Chain A
Amino acid sequence: MKYTARIISRYTCDTSGVCSALYELGGMTVMHDPGGYGSIYATHDEPRWYDSESLIFVSGLTETQAILGDDTKLVQDTLQAARRVQPKFISLTGSPIPAVVGTDFEALAFEIENELGIPTFGFDTDGMHTYVAGVSKALAMVAQRLCQPGQSKLAGVVNILGVTPLDFSINGSAEALTQVLSDRGLTVQANWAMTSSLVQLEAAGAASANLVVTAGGLKAAQILQDRFGTPYVLGTPYGPNLTDTIVTALNLAATTGENQSVINVPQDTGTIIIGESLTALSLATAIFRATGRGATIICPTESETEILAYGCLTIRDEDDIESYLHHADTIIADPMYQPICPPNAKFVPLPHEAFSGRIYHSTMPNLVTELPEFLAAQNLD
C-alpha cells in the first residue's frame, strides 16, 4: 500500500482507542510518548475532555531515554502520579518510538503493579493501527482482568460492548443504546464503556447475553464467553425495526447459548457506506429493511474476520477508496471523504468522530433513536 492521502483525513490510532475506552472507569492511563499524542487525543478524539477529570497523562519520552532504553523515569513518574491521584487501575500505552525500541509494557506494568498493588496493564499500541485495535485491547483487558468471577446469571440482563465517543460521539447515542433495550424489557448491566462505572463492568458476568455494537467490543465478548459462558449478538440498534430484531436475537442467544447476528446486507455497488465495520453493516441492514436497497461497506479501520465476513471491503488507501466510488450513486460517509467522491453521486454526510474529530460535532446524528428522521432527511427512506 502507498498509504498516501492527498486530502482525506486519518482515523485516530490505537493509543487513543485505549484511552477512549477506559476514560470513564476511574483508571489512570499513561501514553508513553514525547507529548503529541496527549494533545491530539485531548483535542480531536475526546469530547469529554473539557469538563471531566479522567486521568490521562503523557510520559514526555525524550530522545536520550529512547536511545538508552531507559524506562526509569516512566516508571518513577507513574508511581509518583498514582500515589497522588489514587487510580482504580493503571494502563500504560505506547507510541511509535517505544515500539521501535521494543519497550516491554507488560513487564513495566508488572513492576508497577508489584510496587503499588494497583492493577496495572501494558498495551503495546504503536500509533500505526486504528482506534478499533485500541478499543478492542482495552475492553478485552477489562473482560480478562477486572470482571469478577462468581456472578449468578440473570435472565434479561445484557451488556453493551464497544461504546466510545469515537463511534457514538456525545450526542445521546450512548444513553440511547441503554434506553432502547430497557424499553424492550431488557436490563443493561453495563455499557462498555460510556455511562457505566467500573463496578458495573466488574459484574458483567451476570449478563445472560452480550450485545456487540462495534468491532472494538468483539474481543471482550469472546473473552466473556470463555470466562462466563455468555453468548453474544452482533449488531448496532439503529432504528426501532433493527432494535426489535436485536432484542429477539439477545433473548434467543440467552436461551440457546448460541451467538447471533442481525447483519444482513445484500451487496450493491450503487450504495456505498464508509466507516467502522459493525456500525456501517448495521446501518446498511437498517437501510435494507427500510428500502430494500443493498449496499457495499468500505471499512478503512481494523476489524475481525467474523464481522468482515458479513460483507465489508477492507480498503484504507485514498486512491483505492476513490476507485471504488466511481460507480456509486449514493455514498454515506464522513464529510471529509466528500472531496474524493464523484460529483454526480449523492453524498450523505455521516460525521464520524474517529475520522473528522470535533469538526462536525453539531451535526452528528443519533442513529439509535433518530434513524427514521436521518433517512427521511436524506431521502433514503
Chain B
Amino acid sequence: MTAQTTTRTTASRDKAPRPKSLASFLEDVKRELPGELIHVTKVVDPAHYDVTAIIKKLDALKKFPIIIFDKPLNLKGQISDIPLIMNAEISRGKVQVALDLPRSASRVDIAEECLRREEHRVPPQLVSKEEAPVKEVIKVGEEADLTKLPIMRHHEMDGGPYIVMASTVKDRKTGVYNTSYHRMEIKGPRLTAFYSSPRHLWRIFKDYEDNGLECPVSTVLGHHPAFNMGACYQGPFEVDEYHIIGGYLGEPLRLVPSETFGDAFMVPADADMVMEGALIPGKRMVEGPFGEAPGYLGPQRYNTSLRYEVRAITYRRGAMIQSIITPEGDKPWLDIAREGAYLRRVREAVPGVKAVCKSGRHAHYSIYISMKKMAEGDQGRAAAAAFTFDHTKNVFVFDEDIDVFDPTDILWALATRVQPQRDISIIKDVMRGNMLDPSLGDEIKTSAMIVDATRPLGRPYSPVSKCPEDALARIKLEDFVPREILDRIPLDRTTYWA
C-alpha cells in the first residue's frame, strides 16, 4: 500500500438523526452532568506518566471527571493536534448518560439494562465512505504513523506505550465479528505487539494462522461509551458482536469498508479514530510487562503476543484518542456489562437471585451474589452457574438482605452467617483461570471456593436487630433536628456501622 493522506468533509445528513459518537456523548454529559468534563490545557506527556499521575491525584480526591488533555505530546515528543480523553465511562452517572438511563438507576438497574440491550440486538447499517465521519482523514502506508499519536505509558515497568482499546476480528467461517479488549505495545510507527489470551479472538486468529492467512483486525481508538461497553460483552462464539454493540447503542452501529480489506472487513463509521491492519500468521513478539486489570503487572510474554501490522489509520476531523483503563489497570463501570451477564447465568439456575457484584478490584475473580433462597442447595446451584463464565475463582452467596455492593455488609455477613468448616467448599484446581491472576501456581489452572453466607432455612436463626419500620415512617428527622443544624453537622465517614 503506498503512503497517502486523504482529507474531506462528511456528506451532510441534515434530516437524519445524528448517530451516537464520542462527540454526541460529550454533549450529553455537558447537559446532564455539568462539571463532570474538564480540559487540561497545559502540555502533558502521556508516554512519561503525566496523565497517569494527574488521574491518580484526582482519584485520591475522589474526583473522576472526564478529562480532555488538549495538548498532549505524541510519541515523537511533539504537541499533538489530537487530544487525549480519559475517564469517559468512569462513574455511575456517566454510564447512566451513556445508556440514556435516569439518574435514579441503581447499579442493579444498569446491569439489568445491559442484559436487556444484549437481548435486543440491532443489526449494523452499512454506509458509504462519503457518509462516514471516520473517513474524513485517511492515512495509509507510511502516512499511518502511531508515533504521531499521544499514546500513554500507563504504569511503571510497562514495556512501552500501550493502546488498550477494543479490537475487532472476523471469523473466517461464520463471518461474525468479535470485539474484545487486548493490550498492545507500540513497537514502531506501524507495528504493535498484541497480547491475546485463549478466548474467542485467539480461536479466530488461529484459524487464519493455521491456513497461512493474515487475520484482518481493527482497533477503535475513540467512540461513544456504549460502543466501549458493548465491546465488553462475552457470550457464545457465534454471536456477531457488532449486533450486540448496536443493542448497547440503541441504534444500528454504522459500518464502512476498511481501507485495507474493503467490504470484506467493515469498521465503525462513527468512531473518532480507527486503526486497521493484520495479525500476521507464524509470528510472535516480545511484549510487556504491563499493569493489568487485577491490579498487578503482567509479565513480559512471547508465545501469546501477536504481530499486529498497521496498514491504515482513519479519523474524523476533531478526533480525540481515548484510553479507558485507570492507573490501577482496570475498567470500572465499563465492565458492568459483565455484571449483567453473570446475573443472566445465575438467574437461569436460581430465579431468586437479586443482585450480582462482579465489577471492582475486589470482584475481579470473586463474585458476590445475593438471593432469596427457596430451597437449600439454591446457593450451590447459583455458585455453579457463576463458575461456568469468565474467570470466576471465588463465589460468595448471601441472603437477599445483604447489599453485595457494600463491603461492610459483605464482611458482616461473612462474620455472622458463616461457619468455615460447614460453609466453605474448596474445589481443587480443575478450572481454567486467568493468566493474569498472580496467585496461580499453574500457568492457567485455578482452584475455586464457594462461601455459603446464607442463613439455613431449616432452623430458627437470630433475627437482625433493627429500628421498627413504623418508627422510621413516623419520625421525620427535621422535626427533631432542624435543617439548619443538620446542615452544620459534618459528614463522618469513619463511623463503621453507617
Are A and B part of the same complex?
no
